[in-house]
Structure 1
Protein backbone atom coordinates (compact mmCIF):
# COMPACT_ATOMS: atom_id res chain seq x y z
CA UNK A 1 0.00 0.00 0.00
CA UNK A 2 1.32 3.44 -0.96
CA UNK A 3 0.37 4.98 2.38
CA UNK A 4 2.26 2.40 4.41
CA UNK A 5 5.35 2.69 2.22
CA UNK A 6 5.44 6.48 2.46
CA UNK A 7 4.93 6.51 6.23
CA UNK A 8 7.62 3.85 6.65
CA UNK A 9 10.13 5.92 4.67
CA UNK A 10 9.33 9.08 6.63
CA UNK A 11 9.54 7.24 9.94
CA UNK A 12 12.86 5.60 9.05
CA UNK A 13 14.27 8.99 8.09
CA UNK A 14 13.28 10.55 11.41
CA UNK A 15 14.49 7.59 13.51
CA UNK A 16 17.88 7.69 11.80
CA UNK A 17 18.27 11.45 12.16
CA UNK A 18 17.07 11.62 15.76
CA UNK A 19 18.54 8.50 17.34
CA UNK A 20 21.53 7.68 15.17
CA UNK A 21 22.53 11.10 13.84
CA UNK A 22 22.60 9.90 10.25
CA UNK A 23 25.06 7.07 10.94
CA UNK A 24 22.75 4.47 9.44
CA UNK A 25 21.80 0.94 10.41
CA UNK A 26 25.39 -0.14 11.07
CA UNK A 27 25.48 2.15 14.12
CA UNK A 28 21.88 1.56 15.18
CA UNK A 29 20.95 0.19 18.59
CA UNK A 30 17.66 -1.65 19.06
CA UNK A 31 14.86 0.72 20.02
CA UNK A 32 11.84 -0.19 22.12
CA UNK A 33 8.81 0.54 19.92
CA UNK A 34 5.08 0.55 20.65
CA UNK A 35 2.63 0.54 17.72
CA UNK A 36 -0.84 1.50 18.98
CA UNK A 37 -3.55 0.32 16.61
CA UNK A 38 -1.01 -1.83 14.81
CA UNK A 39 -3.59 -3.36 12.45
CA UNK A 40 -2.08 -6.10 10.29
CA UNK A 41 1.41 -5.30 11.63
CA UNK A 42 2.86 -3.67 8.51
CA UNK A 43 5.01 -1.20 10.46
CA UNK A 44 5.62 -3.70 13.26
CA UNK A 45 7.27 -6.11 10.83
CA UNK A 46 9.29 -3.40 9.09
CA UNK A 47 10.71 -2.11 12.35
CA UNK A 48 11.46 -5.61 13.66
CA UNK A 49 13.31 -6.37 10.42
CA UNK A 50 15.42 -3.29 11.14
CA UNK A 51 16.42 -4.83 14.48
CA UNK A 52 14.06 -3.04 16.87
CA UNK A 53 11.99 -4.60 19.69
CA UNK A 54 8.36 -3.94 18.79
CA UNK A 55 5.11 -4.30 20.73
CA UNK A 56 1.91 -4.17 18.69
CA UNK A 57 -1.32 -3.17 20.44
CA UNK A 58 -4.77 -3.45 18.84
CA UNK A 59 -8.29 -3.90 20.26
CA UNK A 60 -9.53 -6.22 17.48
CA UNK A 61 -8.67 -9.93 17.89
CA UNK A 62 -9.46 -10.61 14.23
CA UNK A 63 -7.02 -7.96 13.09
CA UNK A 64 -4.40 -9.28 15.48
CA UNK A 65 -4.94 -12.73 14.00
CA UNK A 66 -4.07 -11.36 10.57
CA UNK A 67 -1.05 -9.62 12.11
CA UNK A 68 0.10 -12.87 13.68
CA UNK A 69 -0.15 -14.55 10.29
CA UNK A 70 2.06 -11.89 8.71
CA UNK A 71 4.57 -12.16 11.53
CA UNK A 72 4.61 -15.95 11.23
CA UNK A 73 5.92 -15.64 7.67
CA UNK A 74 9.03 -13.79 8.91
CA UNK A 75 12.37 -15.39 9.90
CA UNK A 76 12.61 -16.55 13.50
CA UNK A 77 14.95 -13.73 14.52
CA UNK A 78 12.36 -11.18 13.36
CA UNK A 79 9.51 -12.97 15.12
CA UNK A 80 11.44 -12.97 18.39
CA UNK A 81 11.55 -9.18 18.39
CA UNK A 82 7.74 -8.81 18.24
CA UNK A 83 5.03 -8.98 20.90
CA UNK A 84 1.30 -8.55 20.20
CA UNK A 85 -1.26 -7.48 22.79
CA UNK A 86 -5.02 -6.97 22.67
CA UNK A 87 -5.89 -3.54 24.05
CA UNK A 88 -6.65 0.14 23.55
CA UNK A 89 -4.04 2.87 23.32
CA UNK A 90 -5.79 4.76 26.11
CA UNK A 91 -4.95 1.85 28.43
CA UNK A 92 -1.19 2.24 28.00
CA UNK A 93 -0.75 3.29 31.60
CA UNK A 94 -2.24 -0.01 32.72
CA UNK A 95 0.06 -2.06 30.50
CA UNK A 96 3.31 -0.13 30.68
CA UNK A 97 5.21 2.07 33.10
CA UNK A 98 6.39 5.63 32.41
CA UNK A 99 9.21 5.90 29.90
CA UNK A 100 8.90 2.32 28.65
CA UNK A 101 9.34 3.05 24.93
CA UNK A 102 11.78 4.96 22.76
CA UNK A 103 9.31 5.23 19.87
CA UNK A 104 5.49 5.24 19.97
CA UNK A 105 3.38 5.00 16.80
CA UNK A 106 -0.25 6.06 16.60
CA UNK A 107 -1.18 5.73 12.93
CA UNK A 108 -4.79 5.92 11.75
CA UNK A 109 -6.22 5.80 15.28
CA UNK A 110 -7.12 9.35 16.31
CA UNK A 111 -9.81 9.61 13.62
CA UNK A 112 -11.86 7.11 15.66
CA UNK A 113 -11.43 9.05 18.93
CA UNK A 114 -13.84 11.83 20.02
CA UNK A 115 -10.78 14.06 20.50
CA UNK A 116 -7.04 13.72 20.13
CA UNK A 117 -5.71 15.10 23.44
CA UNK A 118 -6.50 12.24 25.90
CA UNK A 119 -4.97 9.56 23.65
CA UNK A 120 -1.84 11.60 22.93
CA UNK A 121 -1.37 12.36 26.62
CA UNK A 122 -1.66 8.65 27.43
CA UNK A 123 0.95 7.79 24.81
CA UNK A 124 3.29 10.55 26.01
CA UNK A 125 3.35 9.01 29.49
CA UNK A 126 4.99 5.81 28.22
CA UNK A 127 7.51 7.67 26.05
CA UNK A 128 11.07 7.77 27.38
CA UNK A 129 13.12 10.98 27.64
CA UNK A 130 14.50 11.66 24.18
CA UNK A 131 11.78 9.45 22.71
CA UNK A 132 9.79 9.93 19.50
CA UNK A 133 6.03 10.00 18.90
CA UNK A 134 4.76 9.35 15.36
CA UNK A 135 1.12 10.24 14.59
CA UNK A 136 -0.83 9.82 11.33
CA UNK A 137 -4.21 11.58 11.09
CA UNK A 138 -6.78 12.58 8.50
CA UNK A 139 -6.04 16.13 7.38
CA UNK A 140 -8.89 18.36 8.51
CA UNK A 141 -7.65 21.25 6.38
CA UNK A 142 -8.13 19.20 3.19
CA UNK A 143 -11.44 17.40 3.74
CA UNK A 144 -13.00 19.07 0.70
CA UNK A 145 -10.26 17.79 -1.64
CA UNK A 146 -11.53 14.21 -2.05
CA UNK A 147 -15.15 15.03 -2.92
CA UNK A 148 -14.10 18.11 -4.92
CA UNK A 149 -11.62 16.19 -7.09
CA UNK A 150 -14.27 13.53 -7.63
CA UNK A 151 -16.78 16.15 -8.85
CA UNK A 152 -18.97 15.84 -5.77
CA UNK A 153 -19.56 19.56 -5.33
CA UNK A 154 -22.18 19.18 -2.64
CA UNK A 155 -19.84 16.98 -0.62
CA UNK A 156 -17.01 19.46 -1.08
CA UNK A 157 -19.16 22.34 0.17
CA UNK A 158 -20.25 20.31 3.22
CA UNK A 159 -16.63 19.51 4.05
CA UNK A 160 -15.62 23.13 4.57
CA UNK A 161 -15.56 24.14 8.22
CA UNK A 162 -16.09 20.65 9.67
CA UNK A 163 -13.89 17.94 11.08
CA UNK A 164 -16.38 15.11 10.51
CA UNK A 165 -16.44 12.79 7.53
CA UNK A 166 -17.41 9.25 6.52
CA UNK A 167 -14.44 7.09 5.63
CA UNK A 168 -14.23 4.50 2.86
CA UNK A 169 -15.46 1.80 5.23
CA UNK A 170 -18.64 3.82 5.73
CA UNK A 171 -17.75 4.69 9.33
CA UNK A 172 -18.25 8.16 10.83
CA UNK A 173 -14.81 9.53 11.68
CA UNK A 174 -13.02 12.73 12.66
CA UNK A 175 -10.16 14.71 11.13
CA UNK A 176 -7.42 16.72 12.85
CA UNK A 177 -5.67 19.92 11.86
CA UNK A 178 -1.96 20.67 11.96
CA UNK A 179 -2.06 23.79 14.14
CA UNK A 180 -4.12 22.35 17.05
CA UNK A 181 -2.09 19.12 16.99
CA UNK A 182 1.12 21.12 17.11
CA UNK A 183 -0.17 22.91 20.23
CA UNK A 184 -1.18 19.62 21.83
CA UNK A 185 2.24 18.08 21.21
CA UNK A 186 3.87 21.07 22.91
CA UNK A 187 1.48 20.79 25.87
CA UNK A 188 2.35 17.11 26.43
CA UNK A 189 6.07 17.98 26.13
CA UNK A 190 6.62 16.15 22.86
CA UNK A 191 7.06 19.16 20.56
CA UNK A 192 6.73 18.79 16.82
CA UNK A 193 10.00 17.87 15.09
CA UNK A 194 8.79 17.38 11.50
CA UNK A 195 5.56 16.89 9.58
CA UNK A 196 4.74 15.36 6.21
CA UNK A 197 1.77 15.01 3.89
CA UNK A 198 0.73 11.51 2.83
CA UNK A 199 -1.32 10.71 -0.29
CA UNK A 200 -1.17 14.03 -2.09
CA UNK A 201 -1.79 12.65 -5.60
CA UNK A 202 -3.25 9.17 -4.97
CA UNK A 203 -6.15 9.86 -2.61
CA UNK A 204 -8.65 9.34 -5.44
CA UNK A 205 -7.40 5.79 -6.06
CA UNK A 206 -9.98 3.35 -4.66
CA UNK A 207 -8.67 1.13 -1.87
CA UNK A 208 -9.40 -2.03 -3.88
CA UNK A 209 -7.15 -0.85 -6.72
CA UNK A 210 -3.51 -1.63 -6.00
CA UNK A 211 -0.43 0.37 -7.00
CA UNK A 212 0.93 0.02 -10.54
CA UNK A 213 2.34 -3.42 -11.32
CA UNK A 214 5.09 -1.95 -13.49
CA UNK A 215 8.11 -1.43 -11.22
CA UNK A 216 9.32 1.75 -12.90
CA UNK A 217 5.87 3.34 -12.75
CA UNK A 218 5.50 2.43 -9.07
CA UNK A 219 8.92 3.89 -8.29
CA UNK A 220 7.94 7.14 -10.02
CA UNK A 221 4.61 7.24 -8.17
CA UNK A 222 6.35 6.82 -4.80
CA UNK A 223 9.00 9.39 -5.69
CA UNK A 224 6.33 11.94 -6.67
CA UNK A 225 4.32 11.30 -3.51
CA UNK A 226 7.40 11.39 -1.30
CA UNK A 227 8.58 14.71 -2.70
CA UNK A 228 5.12 16.26 -2.53
CA UNK A 229 4.73 15.07 1.06
CA UNK A 230 7.67 17.19 2.20
CA UNK A 231 7.13 20.22 -0.07
CA UNK A 232 4.88 23.23 0.37
CA UNK A 233 2.18 23.86 -0.71
CA UNK A 234 1.49 20.24 -1.73
CA UNK A 235 1.80 18.63 1.69
CA UNK A 236 -0.82 20.98 3.14
CA UNK A 237 -3.55 19.42 0.96
CA UNK A 238 -2.56 15.78 1.47
CA UNK A 239 -5.28 13.40 2.60
CA UNK A 240 -3.24 12.47 5.68
CA UNK A 241 -0.75 14.24 7.91
CA UNK A 242 2.23 12.50 9.49
CA UNK A 243 3.51 14.37 12.55
CA UNK A 244 6.68 13.41 14.41
CA UNK A 245 7.35 14.85 17.86
CA UNK A 246 10.28 14.27 20.20
CA UNK A 247 10.55 14.44 23.96
CA UNK A 248 13.47 16.46 25.36
CA UNK A 249 16.17 14.49 27.11
Structure 2
Protein backbone atom coordinates (compact mmCIF):
# COMPACT_ATOMS: atom_id res chain seq x y z
CA UNK A 1 0.00 0.00 0.00
CA UNK A 2 2.86 2.41 0.77
CA UNK A 3 4.11 2.40 -2.82
CA UNK A 4 0.61 2.95 -4.20
CA UNK A 5 0.04 5.95 -1.91
CA UNK A 6 3.46 7.42 -2.71
CA UNK A 7 2.72 7.31 -6.43
CA UNK A 8 -0.69 8.93 -5.96
CA UNK A 9 0.86 11.73 -3.88
CA UNK A 10 3.91 12.34 -6.10
CA UNK A 11 1.74 12.51 -9.21
CA UNK A 12 0.27 15.79 -7.94
CA UNK A 13 3.61 17.65 -8.11
CA UNK A 14 6.18 18.35 -10.84
CA UNK A 15 8.71 15.54 -11.31
CA UNK A 16 11.82 16.19 -9.23
CA UNK A 17 10.25 18.71 -6.85
CA UNK A 18 11.58 18.29 -3.33
CA UNK A 19 8.66 18.49 -0.93
CA UNK A 20 8.35 19.48 2.72
CA UNK A 21 6.26 16.66 4.17
CA UNK A 22 4.58 16.34 7.58
CA UNK A 23 3.65 12.73 8.43
CA UNK A 24 1.15 12.78 11.32
CA UNK A 25 0.83 9.51 13.22
CA UNK A 26 3.70 8.05 11.20
CA UNK A 27 3.87 4.79 13.18
CA UNK A 28 7.13 2.98 12.47
CA UNK A 29 8.00 5.46 9.73
CA UNK A 30 7.53 3.25 6.67
CA UNK A 31 5.93 5.92 4.50
CA UNK A 32 8.20 8.66 5.86
CA UNK A 33 11.36 6.74 5.00
CA UNK A 34 10.12 5.92 1.49
CA UNK A 35 9.58 9.62 0.84
CA UNK A 36 12.91 10.58 2.40
CA UNK A 37 14.69 8.11 0.12
CA UNK A 38 12.99 9.84 -2.80
CA UNK A 39 14.64 13.11 -1.75
CA UNK A 40 11.89 14.84 0.23
CA UNK A 41 12.31 16.56 3.61
CA UNK A 42 10.20 14.74 6.21
CA UNK A 43 8.91 15.68 9.64
CA UNK A 44 7.31 12.74 11.41
CA UNK A 45 4.97 13.12 14.39
CA UNK A 46 4.10 10.14 16.59
CA UNK A 47 2.58 9.97 20.08
CA UNK A 48 3.27 6.27 20.82
CA UNK A 49 6.74 5.95 22.41
CA UNK A 50 7.18 2.37 21.14
CA UNK A 51 6.34 3.36 17.56
CA UNK A 52 8.59 6.41 17.81
CA UNK A 53 11.47 4.23 19.06
CA UNK A 54 10.95 1.84 16.15
CA UNK A 55 10.99 4.75 13.69
CA UNK A 56 14.20 6.10 15.21
CA UNK A 57 15.81 2.66 15.00
CA UNK A 58 14.80 2.31 11.35
CA UNK A 59 16.10 5.80 10.57
CA UNK A 60 19.44 4.97 12.22
CA UNK A 61 19.94 2.22 9.62
CA UNK A 62 19.65 4.70 6.75
CA UNK A 63 22.58 6.55 5.12
CA UNK A 64 23.57 9.90 6.62
CA UNK A 65 22.07 11.86 3.70
CA UNK A 66 18.64 10.38 4.34
CA UNK A 67 18.90 10.83 8.11
CA UNK A 68 19.54 14.54 7.55
CA UNK A 69 16.24 14.86 5.69
CA UNK A 70 14.12 13.40 8.52
CA UNK A 71 13.05 15.03 11.79
CA UNK A 72 11.09 12.97 14.32
CA UNK A 73 8.81 14.68 16.86
CA UNK A 74 6.98 13.11 19.78
CA UNK A 75 3.51 14.62 19.76
CA UNK A 76 -0.15 14.37 18.84
CA UNK A 77 -1.65 15.30 15.48
CA UNK A 78 -4.15 17.50 17.28
CA UNK A 79 -1.30 19.78 18.45
CA UNK A 80 0.31 20.69 15.12
CA UNK A 81 -0.30 24.38 15.83
CA UNK A 82 2.00 24.11 18.85
CA UNK A 83 4.89 22.62 16.88
CA UNK A 84 4.66 24.16 13.39
CA UNK A 85 4.04 27.52 11.72
CA UNK A 86 1.19 28.10 9.26
CA UNK A 87 2.14 27.22 5.69
CA UNK A 88 5.20 25.20 6.74
CA UNK A 89 4.55 22.11 4.57
CA UNK A 90 3.79 21.21 0.97
CA UNK A 91 2.23 17.87 1.96
CA UNK A 92 0.57 16.68 5.15
CA UNK A 93 -0.02 12.95 5.52
CA UNK A 94 -2.63 11.65 7.94
CA UNK A 95 -2.78 7.96 7.13
CA UNK A 96 -4.59 5.47 9.37
CA UNK A 97 -5.09 8.02 12.13
CA UNK A 98 -8.62 9.43 11.91
CA UNK A 99 -10.16 6.07 12.83
CA UNK A 100 -8.84 6.60 16.37
CA UNK A 101 -9.98 10.24 16.68
CA UNK A 102 -13.52 10.68 17.99
CA UNK A 103 -13.89 14.27 16.71
CA UNK A 104 -11.62 14.63 13.67
CA UNK A 105 -12.77 18.05 12.35
CA UNK A 106 -10.66 20.25 14.69
CA UNK A 107 -7.59 18.12 14.00
CA UNK A 108 -8.10 18.35 10.23
CA UNK A 109 -8.50 22.13 10.47
CA UNK A 110 -5.15 22.29 12.26
CA UNK A 111 -3.49 20.16 9.59
CA UNK A 112 -4.86 22.40 6.84
CA UNK A 113 -3.40 25.49 8.56
CA UNK A 114 0.16 24.18 8.33
CA UNK A 115 -0.19 23.60 4.57
CA UNK A 116 1.29 26.09 2.13
CA UNK A 117 -1.07 27.45 -0.57
CA UNK A 118 -1.59 24.67 -3.10
CA UNK A 119 -0.37 22.11 -0.57
CA UNK A 120 -1.82 18.62 -0.38
CA UNK A 121 -3.65 17.11 2.60
CA UNK A 122 -3.51 13.32 2.15
CA UNK A 123 -5.93 11.27 4.25
CA UNK A 124 -6.27 7.50 4.46
CA UNK A 125 -9.42 6.45 6.30
CA UNK A 126 -11.54 3.35 6.83
CA UNK A 127 -14.47 3.41 4.43
CA UNK A 128 -17.71 3.45 6.45
CA UNK A 129 -19.76 2.77 3.32
CA UNK A 130 -18.04 -0.59 2.85
CA UNK A 131 -17.69 -1.91 6.41
CA UNK A 132 -19.78 -4.98 5.60
CA UNK A 133 -17.44 -6.13 2.83
CA UNK A 134 -14.69 -7.73 4.91
CA UNK A 135 -16.93 -9.77 7.25
CA UNK A 136 -19.24 -10.64 4.35
CA UNK A 137 -16.44 -11.94 2.14
CA UNK A 138 -15.13 -13.90 5.13
CA UNK A 139 -18.52 -15.55 5.75
CA UNK A 140 -19.20 -13.66 8.97
CA UNK A 141 -22.85 -12.88 8.30
CA UNK A 142 -23.63 -11.48 11.75
CA UNK A 143 -20.68 -9.13 11.43
CA UNK A 144 -21.73 -8.09 7.94
CA UNK A 145 -25.30 -7.35 9.00
CA UNK A 146 -24.15 -5.33 12.01
CA UNK A 147 -21.76 -3.29 9.85
CA UNK A 148 -24.58 -1.85 7.77
CA UNK A 149 -25.86 0.15 10.73
CA UNK A 150 -22.68 1.42 12.35
CA UNK A 151 -19.50 3.35 11.57
CA UNK A 152 -17.70 1.67 14.47
CA UNK A 153 -15.74 -1.56 14.17
CA UNK A 154 -13.00 -3.63 15.79
CA UNK A 155 -9.81 -3.67 13.72
CA UNK A 156 -7.32 -6.47 13.22
CA UNK A 157 -5.39 -5.33 16.29
CA UNK A 158 -8.51 -5.84 18.39
CA UNK A 159 -8.93 -2.10 18.93
CA UNK A 160 -12.20 -0.23 18.68
CA UNK A 161 -12.10 2.21 15.79
CA UNK A 162 -14.31 4.48 13.70
CA UNK A 163 -14.81 4.63 9.94
CA UNK A 164 -15.52 7.73 7.84
CA UNK A 165 -17.86 8.46 4.96
CA UNK A 166 -16.69 10.14 1.78
CA UNK A 167 -19.58 12.60 1.79
CA UNK A 168 -18.88 13.79 5.34
CA UNK A 169 -15.14 14.21 4.77
CA UNK A 170 -15.80 16.07 1.51
CA UNK A 171 -17.87 18.59 3.46
CA UNK A 172 -15.18 18.87 6.15
CA UNK A 173 -12.42 19.50 3.61
CA UNK A 174 -14.52 22.21 1.97
CA UNK A 175 -15.04 23.82 5.36
CA UNK A 176 -11.34 23.97 6.27
CA UNK A 177 -10.20 25.44 2.95
CA UNK A 178 -8.64 22.28 1.51
CA UNK A 179 -11.39 20.96 -0.79
CA UNK A 180 -11.30 17.43 -2.08
CA UNK A 181 -9.54 17.30 -5.44
CA UNK A 182 -9.61 13.54 -6.00
CA UNK A 183 -9.92 10.26 -4.14
CA UNK A 184 -8.93 6.63 -4.55
CA UNK A 185 -9.96 3.26 -3.21
CA UNK A 186 -7.27 1.25 -1.43
CA UNK A 187 -7.27 -2.50 -0.67
CA UNK A 188 -10.10 -3.57 -2.93
CA UNK A 189 -9.01 -7.06 -3.98
CA UNK A 190 -6.54 -7.71 -1.15
CA UNK A 191 -8.38 -6.69 2.01
CA UNK A 192 -9.10 -10.25 3.15
CA UNK A 193 -5.45 -11.33 2.84
CA UNK A 194 -3.80 -12.22 6.16
CA UNK A 195 -1.46 -9.60 7.59
CA UNK A 196 1.40 -12.11 7.63
CA UNK A 197 0.75 -13.45 4.11
CA UNK A 198 3.99 -13.56 2.08
CA UNK A 199 4.32 -11.18 -0.84
CA UNK A 200 3.74 -12.75 -4.26
CA UNK A 201 6.64 -13.25 -6.66
CA UNK A 202 7.71 -10.09 -8.50
CA UNK A 203 5.72 -10.69 -11.67
CA UNK A 204 2.53 -11.51 -9.82
CA UNK A 205 3.06 -8.61 -7.40
CA UNK A 206 3.27 -6.15 -10.29
CA UNK A 207 0.02 -7.47 -11.75
CA UNK A 208 -1.66 -7.33 -8.33
CA UNK A 209 -0.57 -3.71 -7.85
CA UNK A 210 -1.71 -2.82 -11.36
CA UNK A 211 -5.14 -4.33 -10.71
CA UNK A 212 -5.46 -2.56 -7.35
CA UNK A 213 -4.39 0.75 -8.87
CA UNK A 214 -6.86 0.44 -11.76
CA UNK A 215 -9.74 -0.50 -9.45
CA UNK A 216 -8.81 2.25 -6.99
CA UNK A 217 -9.36 4.85 -9.73
CA UNK A 218 -12.48 3.30 -11.27
CA UNK A 219 -16.13 3.36 -10.27
CA UNK A 220 -17.86 1.40 -8.84
CA UNK A 221 -14.87 -0.56 -7.52
CA UNK A 222 -13.27 2.23 -5.52
CA UNK A 223 -16.51 2.82 -3.61
CA UNK A 224 -16.29 -0.60 -1.93
CA UNK A 225 -12.60 -0.36 -1.00
CA UNK A 226 -11.65 -1.08 2.61
CA UNK A 227 -9.78 2.23 2.76
CA UNK A 228 -10.16 5.56 1.02
CA UNK A 229 -7.29 7.86 0.04
CA UNK A 230 -8.55 11.46 -0.12
CA UNK A 231 -6.49 14.32 -1.54
CA UNK A 232 -7.51 17.82 -0.48
CA UNK A 233 -5.70 20.89 -1.82
CA UNK A 234 -5.20 24.06 0.23
CA UNK A 235 -7.01 26.84 -1.60
CA UNK A 236 -8.16 24.43 -4.32
CA UNK A 237 -11.47 24.49 -6.16
CA UNK A 238 -12.49 20.91 -5.39
CA UNK A 239 -13.10 18.75 -8.44
CA UNK A 240 -13.65 15.74 -6.11
CA UNK A 241 -12.35 13.33 -8.79
CA UNK A 242 -15.82 12.22 -9.82
Provide TM-score, normalisation by structure 2: 0.95
Matched, 1:39 2:38: no
> What are the superposed Cα offsets for residues 94-129 of structure 1, whole Å, 9 maximum, x if unpaired?
111111111100000000000221111111111111
Task: Name the residue aligned to 2:190.
Answer: 202
Task: Name the residue aligned to 1:9.
Answer: 7
Question: Take 1:143 and 1:35, find their aligned partners in 2: how far apart are those partners?
Answer: 26
Question: Take 2:150 and 2:110, find their aligned partners in 1: how far apart are those partners?
Answer: 26
Question: Take 1:200 and 1:208, find their aligned partners in 2: how far apart are those partners?
Answer: 18
Pick one of 140, 143, 165 that aligns with 1:152: 140
Task: Name the residue aligned to 1:220.
Answer: 207
Task: Name the residue aligned to 2:176.
Answer: 188
Matched, 1:242 2:229: yes
Question: Take 1:70 and 1:215, find their aligned partners in 2: how far apart are those partners?
Answer: 24
Alignment of 1:25-174 (within 5 A): 25=16, 28=17, 30-174=18-162
Measure how far apart 1:168 and its partner are. Answer: 0.2
Question: Take 1:101 and 1:9, find their aligned partners in 2: how far apart are those partners?
Answer: 19
Unpaired runs of 5+ residues, structure 2, are 237-242
Question: Take 2:39 and 2:6, find their aligned partners in 1: how far apart are those partners?
Answer: 15
Question: Take 1:138 and 1:223, find their aligned partners in 2: how far apart are those partners?
Answer: 22
4+ residue runs over 4 A deviation = none
* SS class of match (1:130): strand
Measure how far apart 1:47 and its partner are. Answer: 1.4
Residues 120-129 or 130-139, more deviating: 120-129
Question: Take 1:33 and 1:233, find their aligned partners in 2: how far apart are those partners?
Answer: 31
For the aligned residues, what is the CA RMSD? 1.1
Question: Take 1:133 and 1:162, find their aligned partners in 2: how far apart are those partners?
Answer: 27
Instruction: State how many pairs are aligned.
Output: 236
> What are the superposed Cα offsets for residues 148-205 of structure 1, whole Å, 9 maximum, x if unpaired?
0001111000000210000000000000010110010000000111100000000000
> What are the superposed Cα offsets for residues 37-73 of structure 1, whole Å, 9 maximum, x if unpaired?
0111111112112221110000011111111122122
Measure how far apart 1:134 and its partner are. Answer: 0.3
Question: Take 2:143 and 2:103, find their aligned partners in 1: how far apart are those partners?
Answer: 23
